[in-house]
Each structure stands twice: as C-alpha cells, then as structure tokens.
Structure 1
Amino acid sequence: MTNYREILKKYWGYDDFRPMQEDIIKSVGEGKDTLGLLPTGGGKSITFQVPAMAKPGICLVVTPLIALMKDQVENLKKKGIKAYAVHSGLTGMEIQIAYDNCIYGGVKFLYLSPERLSTPVFLEKLQHLKVNLLAIDEAHCISQWGYDFRPGYLKIADVREHLPNVPVLALTATATPRVVDDIQEQLRFEKKNVFQKSFERTNLAYVVRKCEDKEGQLVKILSSVQGTAVVYVRNRKKTREYAEHLQKNGISADYFHAGLTQKVKDFRQQQWKSGACRVIVSTNAFGMGIDKPDVRIVVHMDAPDSLEAYFQEAGRAGRDEKKAYAVMLFSPADKMQLNKSVTTSFPEKEVIHKVYDSLCNFFQVAVGHGEGLVLDFNIGKFCTAFGFNILSVFNSLKILQRAGYLYYTEDSDIPSKVMMQMSDFELYKYQVANAKLDPFIKVLLRSYTGLFTEYASIDEDLLAQRLKVTRDDVYQALLTLSRAKVLHYIPQRRTPLITFLHRREELRHIVLAPEIYEQRQKEYRQRVDAVLEYATTTHICRSRLLLHYFGQGNSNNCGHCDVCLDRKKQNLTDDEFSKIEEAIYNTLNAEPISAESLTEKLSFAQDKTWKVIHWLEDVGAVSENQDGVMEWIGKR
C-alpha cells in the first residue's frame, strides 16, 4: 500500500495529515472520482499533490486563478518538484516549451486555466501526456448554481473522454447542497463520492455591528482585539484611505489590491506574514493561497455580495484553532448598495451587445476571425473611446465571459522572462567576441538555472544590483542580446488581457441564454438576500445561519457570536433559553395567543418565559397585534 505519509514528510515536512485530507487522498488513490469540500485553509492542494507524487505520470490541475497557479508552481519547484503553469499571460513559444517539457521532461504538475482545455494545441499535446490525476480547484465554478460560474469549466467533462480511467478530484471551500450535486453531475462522476468537513468553526466568533461611523468603529475594534488582522473593503481607493486612517491612529497597517505591482504585493504580503505589519486593508484580491494561522480578526467594512465569499474571507481568521473574530460592519447604506448591485451586475442585454461589438471594433477584429487572440486591454481607454461607463463594461465582460465569447483577466502582472537560444559552444564564442556583454551573460547564468531548456522569470533590479549598473543598463543589454538571438527576452508587462475564445459573431448571433443571464440574475438576487438576512437577523445564532445556508441543519448555537452573547444577558443558560424559545415558537405556530396565556401555558418558570418573550420582541422575532395576540414573525 502506498505510504502517503512518507511523501508528505519528504516534500512538505509534516508528520500527519489534517482531518479529511487522507480520506480524500486514499479515495483518489483507489481511482475513484472524488469531491472534497474543505474550508479555507484546510489544505486542499495537499489532497491532489500527494497522490500525484505517489504515481508515475503527470497531474493536470485546473484553476481559474493565475496568481495562485504561479504561487503553487513556485512552491513546488522549491521542493524540487517539476511543475509548469500555462495561462493567457504566456507567449506561444513559452506555452510550446512548457508542453514539450511536460511530455519529455519528467514534469509532475501542469496547471491550466479552464479555457486552455479546449484549445487545439492542448488537445494535441494531451495525447502524449501520461496523466495520473485530473484535479479541479474552485470546483464550484462548474455549477450553474455556483456563485462564480465559469463556462470554461464545462470543457473539463469533454477532456475526460481523452482520459479513460483517470480519476477526477474536485475541490472547493464553499458549496451549497445544490452545488455539490451539480458539480458531480457536470464532471460525470461514476457515482457520488463526497468528503465534506463540517463548515462549523467553533473558535470563530461571528459579529455584525450596525454603525454609521465605520472608521471610528474599526479603530475601536482593532484597539480592543490584539493580533494580526485583515480588513476587507469593496474598492481599491478605500484600501489606501482606511490604511492611512489606521496609521494616523497609531495602528500598523498597509493596503493591498490587484492593481499594485507584483513586487509591491509580494513585499506587503511578506511584511504582514512576518508580523512587521499588523493590519492589511484589502479588496478580495488578498488571501488566496495565503496560509497565516494566527490571524485574530477579519473585518468586513462593506457587506460582500454572497455568503460564500464572506465565509471564505472570514474563514482566514483563527486557522490555529485559537479564539478569533469575524466582524461585519453594516449600515443602511450597505443594504442600498447590495440592492443596487443586482442592477449594476447585470447591464441591459442591449448594453452587453454594444460592448461586445465595440470591443471587436476596438481591436479591429473582423466577423469570422479572432478566435484565440490574446490582447492587452486598457479598459479606461476603451470606455473613453466609446463613451461607456466603466462598471457597465466590467460587468458586461463578465457576462460575455460566462457566455463563452471571451475571457477577461484583470491586471495580469507578468514578470520579465528569458530563455537562451544559443547552445553552450555558440554562447562561448559570442562571449569571447563581445567582451562588453560577457559580464551580463555570466551574471544571468549564475542567477538563474534552466535557461537553456525553459523560460525563467527574471528580476532586472536584482541583476543590476549584482552587476553594479542601472536597471536601464540591464534592460538595454538584454534587448541587444535578444536582437542578436543569443537569448529571447520578454520584458515585464502589466496589463489586463482579453482572450477571444470564439471568432467574432454578428450581433444577431450573440446569444445570452436564460441560464447565463435571467437565471444568474435570479440566483444573484437570492445570494444578496441571504447576505441581507445574515446582516439584519438578530435572534438566530450567526454560526447557525451560515451552517444552514451551506446545508448543515440541526446545528447548535455557537455561544459566542453577538446574538448568543446578547441572549446570555438574560441570565439564562443557553439550554434554558433554547428550550423556552423553541416552546414559544411551537405554541405560536399552532395557535397565536396573548403573552399572558403563553406564559401560563408553558411549563417553565414564568419570570424566565417573560425574559425570553421580551428579548424576542426586542429583536423582532415576535410581535403583538392590536388584539393583544402574539405572533411569530421571525425566521427559524
């Protein structure tokens, strides 16, 4: 029997698996299609990396997150494991070399974006790959009912036809029961096979605070709860404003969003991880793949648009199993913003059609052409040229992406890359003949390995420092070497990308099917309503509300969220309060009666029953009509 623990210890340094990891690994090792639901920080990547290392061949990993792809590939390489990532930020030559190395070079992991799976180049190379496992990260994206549906994921099932007897491991941190069933159906599981860790986080206290002065409340919270913190906001501008506000109040803080350069992002991430910076204020761009166990508090300054997103982000607190807090600051403006987002997230179909047509004209793509094109995209310039609102364009692109016409990547930060084109002997002759460039070549070869077989990401600043020259000197030297065909140099670029997944269609042929538009709009509305219910309900334990949303009924009160703590002020035990509350609910559901009759009918001490009734009235769960009859109006 395969000793998975030996592999875990050898490459990852752990003596044992986290709960559920080994069960998932054994299921996959036995060749079974498997769906693993592990919460944020539950170690999902281990569940496909370990079994893939235990078998000959290569593991295909499908993920929509380019940043996460690159991080995991780098981490695997540091462990001495060969891995590649293929995505829209690479040149055709880079992709070709990556595929060839996967076929001939003993590579164990190939990370791909879902859109890549249907390309002719990949399908041709797939015939020569010995695949031992197909791993699907963020598997909820394949479900029409998932909060982040991506049509590219639907291609995965077709790829399975080329991979007979290769098991699939689908992984996600959040999924409702409906999504769990749909994932398995879409991926054509032979039989249902789900490993699900409970969504309950017993050490995490969920709190909703209703307030208008959010800045003041944030300072107050961070002053009373010590330790590392993440503060989530909805837009980039606010990240900087809140970080500066915290700094003015003596709290160590910095900001983070997708628009920063990779170097700045890496530095700020490292400062926060090391403890040099206590608080990071960020958009939802922060947190993916970052495993810092001692985060004591996560604060949401703005309400997210789904409980799936909230649960993932809040779940970054307290991974060390010690007491931690997840706080949402909520105001009437949040309710207005969430309701408004339903409209702004789904522009009128005429607007979407116009955006598509203008985009094709912007790039001068003719009808019947453009499939596979990857183009730098300046959304500001585009909006100015055609008179669009930037938010309408952004959301139109997302809908066109769901419909399978294009793929939009925001702010791709693509580092400079180099690969040698001359052989060792040719290079030696070139160095002898070009003494001025010899130092550049030597430092480049000493600084980076594998340059003769694959592209390596390079840092011009680091090379400049080692050569004691300016960054521009390095840039000019690399350009000269590239023109001389000594090497191929791809300078750093930082830009959003548009990938045309389909040839340009005439507008009358653009179809936004009900499941792409009307049904998604309805689902979005339901998710927004679930967030509003979570934020405004004041008589049901926060943890119970979340667990119920994810299909875990019959859960107990957590005892430490803001609702549970408020109940405890009645000087009743949690068990007493729950039993009286349940009895009141059952009685009023059977026959609405007056409060006096209710206290007489129930078998509990009347003073205790009155305490629960008054509390339920205060939080809006029960009310008395004009006839003095009590009714249950809250949710259960």
Structure 2
Amino acid sequence: MADKYSEILKRYWGYDCFRGIQREIIESICRGDDTLGLMPTGGGKSIAFQVPALAMDGACIVVTPLIALMKDQVDNLRRRGVRAAAIYSGMTHSEIITTLENAVFGAVKILYVSPERLSTDLFQAKLRHTKVSFICVDEAHCISQWGYDFRPSYLRIAQIRRLLPGKPVLALTATATGEVVADIQKRLGFRRENVFKMSFERKNLAYVVRYTEDKMSEMIHILSAVEGCAIVYARNRNHTKDVSKVLCNNGIDATYYHAGLEDAVKDRRQKEWQTGKVRVIVATNAFGMGIDKPDVRTVIHMDCPDSIEAYFQEAGRAGRDGKKAYAVLLYDKYDTNRLKTSLCVSFPEKEYVRQVYDHIAYFYQIGVGSGAGLSFEFNMDKFCRIYRHFQTRAESALKILTRAGYIEYRDNEDHKSRVMFILERDGLYRLKNNTVEEDSVIEALLRNYTGLFVEYQLIEEAVLAMNTGMSQNEIYNILKGLNRKHIIRYVPRSTTPTLRYTQNREDSQYIHIGREVYEDLKAAAGRRIEAVISYAENDTVCRSSQLLEYFGEETAHSCGLCDVCLAETGKEQDVRKISEAKEQIIRILGDGKRHVASDLEIMSFSNAVCDAALDELLNENFIKTDNGFIMLSHTDNKRLER
C-alpha cells in the first residue's frame, strides 16, 4: 500500500519522494487514526491531505477559513486532473446544491468547505448521503480558545464528526503551543493522542531584531542591502499605503495590499509581486495565507505582532526555497506600550460590551425577546459613526458577544460580484460608442445570466473572462467602465461583515460574559503579548532558540545566523584580539624601558582593541603609567599569565 502513495505523488505532482513527516501523516490517516500534524509554513501541508484523499475511497471534506486559498487549490487540483470543488459564502443556492450533489454521486474527491457552512441544514442533509473518506481540518489552531486565532465557527466541526461516526479526522496547523496541541485533540474528539511534529527550526532563516527610532530609514537600509523580493508587514491599512509610498520615493518598487481593497485590485497586486514585476509588497496580516512564493529573501515587520505564533508564521514566508533569507522585526520604545494597549482594546470593560449589545439592537430596531435567527449586513463605519465608537474597540466587543453566544459576528463574509442593466434591452442596440471589448462583455453577460434587466444577478468575472478570452482584470475594468457609462450597475465582489442574532435579544443587564470567554482568554492573550516583548528585548539568547522554546522544542545549539549569535561571535572575536594585543604590549614593554603610546602603533590592531587591552592590563596591575609613560609594573612579568 505504501507504494500507492508514492505513485500518486509522482503521477499528480511529479515528486519522487515525500518530505519531512508527510508519509507518516498519510499512513496514519489511511489507517483510520485521528491525526494531528504540526508542519511549519512551507512544510508541505497540502500534500499531507491531498495524497490520502486520492488513495482512499470517498470524498475528503477539507475545512478551511481561507476562501482565496480554497479557490486557488481547487483550480490547481483540477489542472492536475483531480476532481475538487469548494463551498463558501457568496455562492448561489443552486451552485451549492450542484456541488453537494456531485459529492453525493461520487464526482468529487476533495471538497473544501468554510467552517460556517458546516451547520447549515442543506450541507448536513447532503453529507448524510455522501461517502466520506476522512475530515481534514486546516488551520486547526483556530478551534482552540487558547490559540492566537480562535474562530467560534470551528467548534461546529465536532457536530460533523457525530454525523460521520468512525471517520477519522486529520488536523493540520503551522503554529501551536503544547497547550493548543492538547486542546485541538480534545475539541476534535480524538480517540487517542496522535501527534506528528516537524522541527520548527529554519536553518536558512536569520531572525533579526533591530532597535531603531527611525523605522522607515532602517527598512530602506535593509532593502537596499539585501537583494530580492520582500514582504513588509504593517499594523493597519493606512500604514501599508504610507510605507509603500516611502519605498517608491526611495527608488524601491513597491505596492500595498490589505483586506479593504477590491478583489480585482488585490489579485492584480498579488500577481505583480509574485511574478516579480514589483519587488516589495507592503501588507497587513491579511496577506500571505496560501501564497506559494519560495524566493522571498526578506520579511520585515514594521510593528510587533501580538503573538509569537503570528510572527513565526509571517516571518516563515521568507526563504522557503532553502536559500539564505532574513526575518527582521523593527522595534522601538513605543512598541511595548502599543502591545499592552492592544490588550485593553481587545478586551474592553464588560459594561462597554453590554453597551455595544444595546446599540446593535437600536441599530436594527430589535426589541427585547425577539431577533433570534435574524441576519444583517453590518456597516461598521456607519454603526461607529452613529454611536460614537472606536472601530477596533467595538469590533472586540462584537467578538466577545460572539464567544458568549448572543450573536454571531463575521468580519470577512465573502459576497459575489453583482450586475444589473440600467438600460432597457432595446436601448442596448442603439449604443454606438462602445468598444469591441465592451460589446463582447455585454454579449457574454446576456448569454450567461438571466434576469439582468429585472434585478441584480450574481456573476463570476472568471466566467466572463473564459467566454471573451480576456483576463479577469480586464473584465473588471470593462465592467467598471460600463458602470461609469450608466449602462449597468456593477458591485464588485467584496468581503462585508455580517451579524446574526443566535438567540432572542436579552435585556443587557442580564448578559452573562463568563470567565471562560473573558478573564481566561484575556490572561492567555496577555501571556502571548509578554512573550513577544520578551523575544524583542532578549538580546542574550539565540532568536531561533527563543522561538523554538516557545513551541516546546528544545535545541542544543544556536543558529549562528541571528543578530544575537552574530553579536556573540563578534564578542568572541574581540576577546581573542584583545588577548593577543595584551601579549604584544607585554612583549614591547618587556625591555624594561619606559614607553610612550606611539610606541604601540606598530601593533596590527585597531585603536579600540589597543585601548581595551591597555585598560585590562592596567586593571590587572600588569602595567602602570607615570607622567604619560607606560611601563611594566614588575620587570619579571615577561609574559601575560593566561
């Protein structure tokens, strides 16, 4: 059976052998064992579940929160001849039904699903009639409230296990502490502990912390000194734009990326960076998941992330080709206060959380005792403007209310592009100033979608691109142009926050925010922040060793690449040089005569080394000075005792 895995690997991916712990994970899940795989960024997680999915009977259900990654992997698998499909928010009801029925009839081998879809009646009904091989949980740390990226929707995976008794689960993550590893297995109902772990050590990656009061100048210096493409992470959307502008003004090709950009813009900028047209991409933490670019030479963090897990994952996007790369954290005197303030923002006072709960009800006019099951698009800007909230603080309150079970707030709900014709059908034929490309897109719209003259219809730019032979970016620009000409109304795909009442509205004085969703999690977040501060400020222990120790991995050696190791190497070299200089000074003074400082200029050491050697000899009482002359303290000290 083992040969079968290698044959699949060679046939679909062209590789001759597995890497790291891939084979062990594959063999474990194919035996029917619940399995947890800890594989750092670039460790080959996809192969670990895609190969067994093809080796086993039935469909593999892959749960992942990353819609963009989901789409990319489905496209890549289909190009390799693998029957893959995905279900995510933004699809039409008929598209979801078609995909699920294909799975029921055995036409899908790998089905990607967002965690929010797991609890829908439609999905569960179809799942009962689907032959499933196993469940794969990607980004499995999201199921643990002790993890840095907990997502309540992941708790629904346990429901799916009950619908599929006996089917094994494969959990995969790139970052997890020992506490989170235990919690993942508990929450997924592992029948026994079963963990496979790759070393998190990156022998080609130099971790550097640079203390500076001028981060912009330091960033430019680093990117000027290190060739190759780079990612610069910034703390917020506005900062990405500002940093990108500074880079461009200093002759470094750069663009910026964040979740608020339109999809077509994000796709274009990502491709420009991936193909090398742009050297540096400045981004928030929205960028990077599923990005497979092995030749990133430098990752720079302009600000401290709020957890070692986030930093390790983002920094790990450098040097995935195995060649020397750098992960640089820029640190200043304000970062510690900024991190501690972020903890207060993430966990506002309970009374404030109750106030936000009331304001949501006023916003949607929901009375006490009603609202259960109602869903709304949530306009955060408008909400904060009306009720005078700071957005980050209000968003934290919504997440606490979600954890407490009163609402369900999703900040990245994917909404498909929508189009509706403004002109009547007859008016289209009288248009004279359209380009050939515009007419081609109009024709493709009419051919692929109905009801466009009545109401908005969901569309896919990819379908129009395939029909017209244009790129998706060209389709996007043409649709925008038709919108400006008042021929159509075009609403591009976007990620819009949504809010749903999971139970009837309570009087806010009775809202219970328990210890497990507030105090305990605040304490855990505080520990993560303290770990980041410790990493940034500890300049005596190898950076790689600090990171490995955080994830419970011991190492007997230092990396030899980080700023701490290089500084230590420099100190050792200085100690050796000073020792050699002391010997030379003793020899020169060994003639018993009084010497002036210029007599020592024949030595081949820097002034700093000579000064240090003289200071040590004076402190050790080997030499003395008299009216500007230097001499041995005792004439019988011919050699320096060592």
Q: TM-score range by the shorter chain?
A: 0.7 to 0.9
Partner of 2:249: 248
- Which secondary structure does the structure 2 equivalent of 1:117 belong to? helix
Partner of 1:494: 494
* Distance of 1:491 and 1:572 partners within structure 2: 63
* Distance of 1:249 and 1:331 partners within structure 2: 22
Residues 112, 18 of structure 1: CA spacing in aligned structure 2 closer, same or farther, 3 A cutoff?
Answer: same
1:499 CA displacement: 4.0
1:460 CA displacement: 8.7
Residues 475, 242 of structure 1: CA spacing in aligned structure 2 closer, same or farther, 3 A cutoff?
Answer: closer
- Deviations 1:422-471 (CA, angstroms, capped at 9, x unpaired): xxxxxxxxx9xx999998797469999xxxxxx97235984788799963
* Distance of 1:195 and 1:344 partners within structure 2: 36
Paired residue type of 1:151: P
* Distance of 1:470 and 1:456 partners within structure 2: 14
Partner of 1:555: 556
1:325 CA displacement: 0.6
Task: Trace 1:476-555 onto structure 2 (pairs within 5 A).
Answer: 492-500=492-500, 502-506=502-506, 507-555=508-556
1:224 CA displacement: 0.6
Q: Is the 8 A contact 1:416 1:459 kept in 2?
A: no
* Distance of 1:470 and 1:525 partners within structure 2: 49
Task: Trace 1:133-532 onto structure 2 (pairs within 5 A).
Answer: 133-367=134-368, 370-410=371-411, 412=413, 414-416=415-417, 443=444, 457-458=460-461, 462=465, 471=479, 492-500=492-500, 502-506=502-506, 507-532=508-533
Q: Is the 8 A contact 2:231 2:298 kept in 1?
A: yes
- Which secondary structure does the structure 2 equivalent of 1:201 belong to? coil
Task: Trace 1:568-607 onto structure 2 (pairs within 5 A).
Answer: 568-571=569-572
Partner of 1:104: 105
* Distance of 1:573 and 1:119 partners within structure 2: 67
Q: Is the 8 A contact 1:540 1:563 kept in 2?
A: yes
Partner of 2:589: none
Q: Is the 8 A contact 1:464 1:471 kept in 2?
A: no
* Distance of 1:69 and 1:327 partners within structure 2: 30
1:358 CA displacement: 2.0
Q: Is the 8 A contact 1:233 1:301 kept in 2?
A: yes
1:365 CA displacement: 4.1
Normalising by structure 1, we get a TM-score of 0.79
Partner of 2:632: none
- Deviations 1:524-583 (CA, angstroms, capped at 9, x unpaired): 110000000000011111111111100012431111111111111123699xxxxxxxxx
* Distance of 1:492 and 1:56 partners within structure 2: 39
Paired residue type of 1:189: F
Paired residue type of 1:170: A
- Deviations 1:301-333 (CA, angstroms, capped at 9, x unpaired): 001100000000000001111111110010011
1:79 CA displacement: 3.1
Moved over 6 A (4+): 434-442, 445-448, 463-469, 472-477
Q: Is the 8 A contact 1:417 1:458 kept in 2?
A: no
1:508 CA displacement: 4.6
Check if 1:23 corresponds to 2:41: no
Partner of 1:83: 84
Normalising by structure 2, we get a TM-score of 0.78
* Distance of 1:473 and 1:392 partners within structure 2: 38
Residues 288, 508 of structure 1: CA spacing in aligned structure 2 closer, same or farther, 3 A cutoff?
Answer: same
For the pair shown, which has the larger CA radius of gyration, 1 or 2? 2
* Distance of 1:284 and 1:229 partners within structure 2: 14
Identity %: 51
1:258 CA displacement: 0.6
Paired residue type of 1:45: S
- Which secondary structure does the structure 2 equivalent of 1:318 belong to? coil
Moved more, 277-286 or 435-444: 435-444
Residues 218, 476 of structure 1: CA spacing in aligned structure 2 closer, same or farther, 3 A cutoff?
Answer: closer
> How many residues are aligned here?
552
1:373 CA displacement: 4.4
Residues 406, 291 of structure 1: CA spacing in aligned structure 2 closer, same or farther, 3 A cutoff?
Answer: farther
- Which secondary structure does the structure 2 equivalent of 1:276 belong to? coil
Give unpaired runs (5+ residues) of structure 1.
Answer: 419-430, 449-454, 481-488, 575-609, 615-636
* Distance of 1:476 and 1:81 partners within structure 2: 41
- Which secondary structure does the structure 2 equivalent of 1:515 belong to? helix
Q: Is the 8 A contact 1:318 1:324 kept in 2?
A: yes
Residues 118, 443 of structure 1: CA spacing in aligned structure 2 closer, same or farther, 3 A cutoff?
Answer: closer
Q: Is the 8 A contact 2:8 2:54 kept in 1?
A: yes
1:29 CA displacement: 0.9
Q: Is the 8 A contact 1:229 1:296 kept in 2?
A: yes
- Deviations 1:381-431 (CA, angstroms, capped at 9, x unpaired): 11112222212111112222333444434355534379xxxxxxxxxxxx9
Moved more, 300-309 or 3-12: 3-12
1:86 CA displacement: 2.7
Paired residue type of 1:458: E
- Deviations 1:583-607 (CA, angstroms, capped at 9, x unpaired): xxxxxxxxxxxxxxxxxxxxxxxxx
* Distance of 2:254 and 2:530 partners within structure 1: 33
- Deviations 1:206-246 (CA, angstroms, capped at 9, x unpaired): 11011010000011011111111110010011111111111
Q: Is the 8 A contact 1:151 1:404 kept in 2?
A: no
- Which secondary structure does the structure 1 equivalent of 2:517 belong to? coil
* Distance of 1:207 and 1:191 partners within structure 2: 39
Moved more, 182-191 or 204-213: 182-191
Residues 219, 445 of structure 1: CA spacing in aligned structure 2 closer, same or farther, 3 A cutoff?
Answer: same
Paired residue type of 2:143: I
1:192 CA displacement: 1.0
Residues 120, 508 of structure 1: CA spacing in aligned structure 2 closer, same or farther, 3 A cutoff?
Answer: farther
